[in-house]
């Protein structure tokens, strides 16, 4: 990753902005400004939840733009990082932002001393025309998703609508420039390390295939769902529901029955629950919450 080379100017990919903005409930300006970036960033994870149900259903994950738009916009579904941030990348590019695809190594909830995980999380570096600040945008990180962009090369604590974050220097000798951390009730918890170097869209194909097929990928053996609202964060890990307020304080945590899980997916997360999901949800409840 560099501090955004301005000589890279790919053609804007096609995306139905009217349909996308209707999906996220945005009717504001469409200029490439920081205010617009912030407004889109907070609405996206409210309207389009994080979820990996298609992996558990054996349907696989396509990151072809038409497939993403049909699923996340047309069908009212959610998705994981390659779908979510792939869609956001096309939207921001169409609006005139300069956008780079980046890659990160997830640290969230990793046990102390655990071996490093592969780089498997897509994030975006965004620049507003006329401003050299690089903004980290990420609408695809489950229960700890950002709800506002962060200045990637700032060392200051940065507020978002759902808590404070900071980005610190990491390990440049390992090809890592910045590490993102979330404030969890006064304790800084690392979420991921952003790697150096821009990724082309085609580069994500192999990482996506690994993510939805490899047995070491937790998406292949556990359900992960997340949604933010203006007042809360909701996360499901298998059948365990965790509800936190916008500052991260725990409001509720409990295990759900199959019927309760269906109801939460439909009424709280906002997904169009299908009858075909029932066998998978029964498995999820039987699995319980991963340790």
Greater confidence (248 vs 6) lies with 248
What are the distances in angstroms from CA 267 to CA 12, 233, 260? 36, 14, 10
Contact (Cβ atoms closer than 8 angstroms) between residue 176 and residue 194: yes
Q: Active-site positions? A: 81, 121, 138
Average pLDDT for residues 113-127, to the nearest whole number?
87
pTM: 0.93
Average pLDDT for residues 238-252, to the nearest whole number?
94
Contact (Cβ atoms closer than 8 angstroms) between residue 282 and residue 260: no
What is the pLDDT confidence band of residue 203, given thresholds at 50, 70 and 90? very high
Average pLDDT for residues 95-116, to the nearest whole number?
86
What would the pLDDT profile of 131-144 be if each residue is shown by its tens digit? 999 999 999 998 89
Average pLDDT for residues 22-48, to the nearest whole number?
98
Quote the crossing angle between the two packed helices 81-95 and 17-24, to the nearest 10°: 120
Tokens 């501090």, residue located = 3
What would the pLDDT profile of 159-187 be if each residue is shown by its tens digit? 999 999 999 987 665 555 899 999 988 88
Q: Domain-by-domain residue ranges, the chain?
A: 207-287
DSSP letters, the chain, are --S--TT--PPPPP--HHHHHHHHT--S--SS-HHHHHHHHHHHHHHS-EE-HHHHTT------HHHHIIIIIIS---B-HHHHHHHHHHHHHHHT-EEEEEEEEE-TTPPTTPPPPPEEEEEEEEE-TT--PPEEE-S--GGG--SS-EETT--S-EEETTEEEEEEE--GGGTEEEEEEEEETTEEEEEEEEESS-B-GGGHHHHHHHHHH-TTSGGGTS-EEEEEETTEEEEEETTEEEEEETT--EEEEEE--HHHHHHHHHHTS-----GGGHHHHHHHHHH----
Identify the CATH assignment for 207-287 out of 3.40.50.300, 3.10.105.10, 3.30.2140.10, 1.25.40.10: 3.30.2140.10
DSSP letters, 8-23, are --PPPPP--HHHHHHH
State the pLDDT at residue 14.
82
């Amino acid at each position: 990753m560099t501090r955004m080379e301005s000589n890279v100017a790919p053609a804007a990919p096609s995306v139905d902005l009217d349909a996308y903005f209707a999906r996220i409930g945005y009717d504001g300006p469409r200029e490439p400004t920081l205010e617009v970036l912030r407004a889109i960033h907070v609405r996206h994870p409210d309207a389009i939840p994080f979820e990996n149900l298609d992996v558990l259903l054996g349907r696989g994950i396509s990151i072809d733009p038409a497939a993403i738009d049909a699923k996340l916009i047309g069908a009212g579904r959610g998705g994981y990082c390659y779908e979510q941030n792939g869609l956001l990348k096309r939207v921001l590019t169409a609006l005139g932002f300069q956008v780079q695809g980046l890659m990160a190594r997830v640290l969230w909830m990793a046990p102390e001393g655990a071996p490093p995980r592969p780089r498997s999380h897509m994030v975006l570096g965004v620049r507003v025309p006329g401003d050299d600040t690089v903004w980290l945008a990420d609408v695809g990180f489950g229960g700890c998703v950002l709800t506002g962009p962060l200045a990637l090369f700032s060392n200051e604590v940065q507020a978002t609508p759902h808590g404070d974050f900071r980005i610190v220097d990491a390990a440049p000798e390992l090809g890592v420039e910045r590490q993102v951390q979330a404030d969890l009730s006064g304790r800084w918890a690392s979420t991921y390390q952003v790697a150096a170097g821009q990724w082309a869209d085609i580069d994500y194909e192999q990482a996506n295939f690994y993510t939805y097929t490899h047995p070491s990928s937790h998406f292949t053996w556990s359900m992960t769902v997340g949604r933010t609202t203006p007042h809360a964060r909701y996360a499901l890990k298998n059948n365990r529901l965790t509800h936190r307020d916008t500052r991260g304080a725990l409001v509720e945590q409990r295990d759900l029955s199959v019927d309760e899980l269906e109801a939460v997916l439909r009424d709280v997360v906002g997904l169009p629950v299908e009858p075909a999901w029932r066998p998978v949800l029964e498995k999820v409840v039987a699995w319980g919450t991963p340790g």
